[in-house]
Amino acid sequence: MQTKTILICLFIFKSLIGSGQTQTLNYDLSVAGNSIGMLTAVKTVSKNTITYTANSLATVHLFGETQISTSLTVVSMDGILQSSHYKIEKNGTLNDESTTILKNGVYYINHNGKTSQINTPIKFSTTMLYFDEPKKVSSVFAELEGINKDFVNLGSSTYQLTDPSNHHTNSYTYENGILKEALISHTLFNFKLSLKK
């Protein structure tokens, strides 16, 4: 009887572990101290595969009211990025889209019809920045542009990401290994991500 009970407990434990683990983080988006929307990031672990999603909805007032939504899904297996899909819509109309797919050791990237390739393994991308403090990372893959960007540790759990095309910098601050705050440079405005408790 005792052996049967132990086996049942082990089966239940294995079922719970095998079903995956999910972590959800919610961030407030703000510009000049004013809240403009929300971003929700989700990390789901299932055996050797991790799926990251980040979805946001924001309303900005530039030349009238504009509603911007983003949707990003990244799949990583055994620590190597397998695919990503990033989509941005403005007022319900597709504005920007990028897809990255790993095939036979080569990443095929399509950003709004422009194609490119990367021949080296991608181990860290921007979506992972929400969940994992990148202590030993020097380059981060930007899913939208389909390029690697320099990443520098500034100390005190603060990091800087630099866009090589326009030299805009973003800063990321961590607490207990989780992204607490990010300051993002944008062509028209800068915005802030703040972790909601």
Where the chain has pLDDT below 50, the residues are 1-18
pLDDT, position 186:
81
Strand partners, 171: 160, 183
pLDDT, position 48:
96
Closest CA relative to residue 124, chosen from 148, 100, 105: 148
pLDDT, position 10:
33
pLDDT, position 19:
53
Q: Is 114 exposed, middle or buried (0-12, 13-18, 19+ CB in 10 A)?
A: exposed
pTM, to two decimals: 0.86
Coil vs helix vs strand at 43: strand
How many CB atoms lie under 10 A from the CB of residue 3?
Answer: 7
pLDDT, position 165:
85
d(CA 79, CA 60): 36
